[in-house]
Amino acid sequence: MVFGWGKKKQEEKVVEEIPQSKDVSLDDVEKIVDDLKKLRESQTVSEVKHLRNSTAPLIEDLIKIGNMLEKDTLNVDDIDKHLAVIVVRGKKQVIDVIKRGVVSLPDVSSIESAKKLDNSLNQILKKVGDVLGRQTRVIHIFAKKYANQLKDNLEVMNQNRSNIHDVLQNFENTESTSSEIINALKKIETLKSKKIEKDQKIINTNNELESTKEQLSSLEKNIDEIKSSDEYKKYLESKKSLELFENEKAKIKNEINSQFTKISRPLGRYEYTSSLEKDQKNILTKLVENPFDVLTSENKDSIIVILENVRKNVTSGSISVKDVEKTLSQITETVETLDGFISQVSTYFQKHQKMSNDLDSLRSEKLTSLESEFAKTSDSKNDLELKSETFQGEIDEIDTSIPQLVTEIEKKLRSFSNTKYTVLMS
């Protein structure tokens, strides 16, 4: 007779003690799992106990067979002496194993005792099976009348032990499934708590965001007020005048570059061959690259020295040019224009400085402060918006995860219950 989960479920279906479909709240799931686990535990203990009681007589029969085999001479006096020794030794091994290894089965009253029974029966079968395997010829040839009894007995015992093991394995699966459901419930509770926390963070962040937007609006209004004032209009006019004036720099640079380009070839060669002091070397380099930057009163004498040295090198032939006279004339022309160029550069910078100072005096410190604060507040607004979006993304992820966990719970409930539970979230 086979006992197992399948038979028990079939009985429940026939009796129809439990409805096939049922709606339950998420809060009820833990109790349902606990009740189902207790029911499966009770069923398991009951089935294992029944199997134990079915197996106990077989144990007694096995002991009786051993006692009968011990008293049986097996007619060893009628066979070869050497063979008789083997038969007697084999018989003794079988009897010794049955006497020492075949013990009464423990009673079953709990899952733990059911596991002990499973282990005990397994050891009995292994010991007896091993010795019969070693002495199979002795038993089948010289103790043939016991062979079928042992075979039939052990087959039923082994089947019962297999059924016991399956029933216990089913209960282990139930325990595992129960733990998985409980863990899923805990995960849902954790996610719900996180969602409440994230919801509150969104509320706080959005409140702060609204306050920041109001602050930005106020700052923008104050900035607009300042920018609509006559003082700010004067500032813009002054700024525009300065920007237009800065175009003069390009004109002066072009004029200076045009003059120094005439002597760029001898200047470049002199830069390559000269051994000037560091300051004069720097001035010479600038005269070749960008003369505007060094045309100052302080550099005038050094520039003249450099130009005169170039003149000497051209005259002596140390610096070769196509037209010596023309080059010397251009050097002279450049020296003669130095004062005018230096004056132009100086005048430009003086006027530029004055216009910059005038612009600074018109610049509103309050406006500068407000614009700085506006920029910082605007950055804060962007950060808060990103924060709010991040929190909302996390909430959306939670809202997706919880139904998935609920579906998982429903499937696991179905795996060890005939009832199809539909879990309703509150």
- Give me the chain's average pLDDT, please: 87
Among 177-181, 247-251, 257-261, 276-280, where is mean pLDDT lowest?
Answer: 276-280
- According to DSSP, residue 157 is labeled H
Give CA angle at 263 (258, 268), nearest 5°: 115
Whether residue 142 has pLDDT greater than 70? no
Q: Which of 421, 420, 418, 405 is nearest to 181 (CA)?
A: 405
Whether residue 77 has pLDDT greater than 70? no
139 and 94 Cβ atoms separated by less than 8 Å: yes
Quote the tokens at residue 396: 């959306």
Whether residue 347 has pLDDT greater than 80? yes
Average pLDDT, stretch 322-337?
91
pLDDT band at 186 (very low <50, low <70, confident <90, very high): very high
138 and 90 Cβ atoms separated by less than 8 Å: yes
- According to DSSP, residue 25 is labeled E
363: left (phi over 0), alpha (psi -120 to 50) or beta: beta
Q: What is the pLDDT of residue 426?
A: 67
pLDDT band at 15 (very low <50, low <70, confident <90, very high): very low
Average pLDDT, stretch 64-69?
84
d(CA 300, CA 307): 11
Tens-digit pLDDT profile for residues 21-32? 888 899 999 999
d(CA 111, CA 169): 11
Whether residue 73 has pLDDT greater than 70? no
Whether residue 79 has pLDDT greater than 90? no
* Residue 232 burial (CB count, 10 A): 17
**Helix 300-316 / helix 264-273 crossing angle, nearest 10 deg:** 90
Q: What is the pLDDT of residue 362?
A: 80
Question: What global pTM score does this model have?
Answer: 0.62
Q: What is the pLDDT of residue 389?
A: 95
Q: What is the pLDDT of residue 19?
A: 53
95 and 66 Cβ atoms separated by less than 8 Å: yes
Tens-digit pLDDT profile for residues 257-286? 999 899 888 888 887 777 777 888 888 888
310 and 319 Cβ atoms separated by less than 8 Å: yes
Residue predicted with more confidence, 367 or 14: 367
Whether residue 82 has pLDDT greater than 80? no
Q: What is the pLDDT of residue 285?
A: 87
Average pLDDT, stretch 58-77?
80
pLDDT band at 217 (very low <50, low <70, confident <90, very high): very high
Average pLDDT, stretch 342-357?
92
Whether residue 419 has pLDDT greater than 70? yes
Q: Position of tokens 């719900």?
A: 192
d(CA 416, CA 411): 9
| DSSP per position, 273-333 | H----HHHHHHHHHHHH-GGGG-SGGGHHHHHHHHHHHHHHHHHTSS--S-HHHHHHHHHH
Q: Is residue 355 classed as helix, strand or coil in its secondary structure?
A: helix
Q: What is the pLDDT of residue 144?
A: 76
Exposure class string for 267-302: b at 16+ Cβ within 10 A, else e: bebbbeeeebeeebeebbebbbeebbebbeeebeeb
Tens-digit pLDDT profile for residues 364-380? 888 889 999 999 999 99
Burial label, 334 (beta-carbon count in 10 A; 0-12, 13-18, 19+): buried
d(CA 421, CA 22): 5
Among 107-111, 128-132, 158-162, where is mean pLDDT lowest?
Answer: 128-132
Whether residue 5 has pLDDT greater than 70? no
Whether residue 341 has pLDDT greater than 70? yes
283 and 302 Cβ atoms separated by less than 8 Å: yes
Average pLDDT, stretch 134-150?
77
d(CA 308, CA 287): 14
Tens-digit pLDDT profile for residues 401-411? 999 999 999 99
